[in-house]
Amino acid sequence: MNLFISFDLVMLRTIYRHLFFLLLLFPVTQLSIHAQNLTGIWRGYFITNAGEKYKLEFQINGSSPNFSSGVSYSYLDVRFYGKATMTGSFTRDNKNLKIREIKTVEIKNMDGGGACIMNYDLFYEKSGKEEFLEGTFLGKPEVKGRPNPYSWGDCGGGKVYLRRVTTSDFYIEPFLRGKIKTTPVIINQPPIKKDTVKSKPTTPPVKKPVVNTKPVENKPIVKNNPPIVNKPKTDTTVTKINPPPIVKTNPPVIVPKPAVLKNRTNELMKSLIVTNRDIIVKLYDNGEIDDDTISVYLDNKLMLSSKRLSAAPLTIKFTIDEDDSDHELIMVAENLGRIPPNTSLMVVEAGEQRFEVRITSTEQKNAVVRFRYRKPD
């Protein structure tokens, strides 16, 4: 009898131990699922393979663990606007979100022609408090009322960049009401100028030179006729001496580092190797346009001063010298916009090469992109 009682006690202790372990795991599992909840508004843009940039917004209902639905808005100023319903699935292991537009429900195309629906292949990423969806898309012409004979890619493709935001440029869908926290828009007020009394500069009196008023005595002029001396004749033949050639050397111009580059941390975002010396850099606001303002330095020299990022690019062009193949471009945050931190997308074109770099800078940290020229093989 005592043996059975002892055995039951051991079993009960084992069961309690497992239950306690499961209770410890439960909050962690719930936290992980909550951290990857995609429900909300995601705004940014997509760039086609032809280089056209369209604004894009998703309103996602991710209430089901592995399933998402919602609507998408894509627009290009006043020329094009489209709204579509969409469905998709999210794989938590690799954080992959696949979205397929079902049909357009609103469309405006001033250029005429039909509409395309999109198939998105995106990946979720979190950096600090910022959340991103990035990936690619393929499009195909929309056909209504009959089977669609087209394939994904017949309408082209490109890259997608989205960031989670709390506001929408459009109608907020009912499934999002009460589920997202909205933040008030904060307008940056200009600093108040202090009234200062200007004081006139005091200049010391100018001392005039002392003028001697005593009359000048006129002394008689004595003419001295020097004796005539017969000088020996000298050889007047001039031998021309060619001086050694002067080689001009241009010392490197050292530009002093501005204080904003000394007092902040300069963090390397990316190093790019280019095979063309002519470089074009375009800077866009990455995600929601929230009044991010930046200054840009090239090798410590100011190129852009306090420029606002938007959907239209800020463009910098420069040529790399063959004798000095390394250059640094530094982005300085002049403010953090309405939604910190200051983020931008850099698109670099060097001949046929094209690079895209996502930039993040703060009031303590500058973003650095290095360029190195390498002669093509």
What's residue 5's pLDDT?
A: 47
What's residue 225's pLDDT?
A: 54
DSSP 146-169: S-----TTTT-EEEEEEEEES--S
Give every CB contact of residue 200 below 8 A, 6+ residues apart in sequence: none
Model confidence over 287-308: pLDDT tens digits? 778 889 999 999 999 999 999 9
| Whether residue 157 is found in the same domain as residue 52 | yes
Q: What CA–CA distance (Å, rounded) separates 294 from 275?
A: 28
Nearest to 365 by CA among 259, 269, 264, 257: 264
Number of domains in the chain: 2
* 239 is a domain residue: no
Among 131, 148, 176, which residue terminates a domain?
Answer: 176
What's residue 290's pLDDT?
A: 81
| Whether residue 59 is found in the same domain as residue 165 | yes
Tell whether pTM > 0.85. Answer: no
Both structure tokens of 351: 């001949």
Which range, 98-112, 184-198, 269-283, 331-345, has the best average confidence (pLDDT)? 269-283
* 10 is a domain residue: no
| Whether residue 278 is found in the same domain as residue 153 | no
Among 176, 204, 230, which residue terminates a domain?
Answer: 176
Contact status, residue 68 vs residue 92, Cβ threshold 8 Å: no
Task: Please say if the pLDDT value at position 187 is more than 50.
Answer: no
Contact status, residue 269 vs residue 281, Cβ threshold 8 Å: no
Place of tokens 């306690």: 20
What's residue 162's pLDDT?
A: 92
| Whether residue 161 is found in the same domain as residue 273 | no
Domain of residue 142, CATH code: 2.40.128
Q: Which residue has the higher pLDDT, 30 or 358?
A: 358
* 78 is a domain residue: yes
Domain of residue 269, CATH code: 2.60.40
| Whether residue 170 is found in the same domain as residue 263 | no
Percentage above 90 pLDDT, the chain = 39
Q: What CA–CA distance (Å, rounded) separates 189 from 334?
A: 14
* 72 is a domain residue: yes
Task: Please say if the pLDDT value at position 102 is more than 70.
Answer: yes
Query: Which domain covers residue 80, as residue numbers?
Result: 40-176
Model confidence over 85-96: pLDDT tens digits? 999 999 989 999
What's residue 202's pLDDT?
A: 45
* 245 is a domain residue: no
* 103 is a domain residue: yes
Q: Is the bond preceding 251 in cis, omega lying within 30 degrees of 0?
A: no
Q: Which residue has the higher pLDDT, 4 or 105?
A: 105
What's residue 10's pLDDT?
A: 55
* 192 is a domain residue: no
What's residue 83's pLDDT?
A: 93
Nearest to 294 by CA among 330, 328, 266: 330
Q: What CA–CA distance (Å, rounded) separates 23 from 303?
A: 58
Among 139, 155, 176, which residue terminates a domain?
Answer: 176
Task: Please say if the pLDDT value at position 46 is more than 60.
Answer: yes
Helix (H, G, I), strand (E, B) or coil at 231: coil
Task: Please say if the pLDDT value at position 240 is more than 60.
Answer: no
Model confidence over 49-74: pLDDT tens digits? 888 888 899 999 987 666 778 999 99
Whole-number average pLDDT of the chain: 77
| Whether residue 271 is found in the same domain as residue 169 | no
* 24 is a domain residue: no
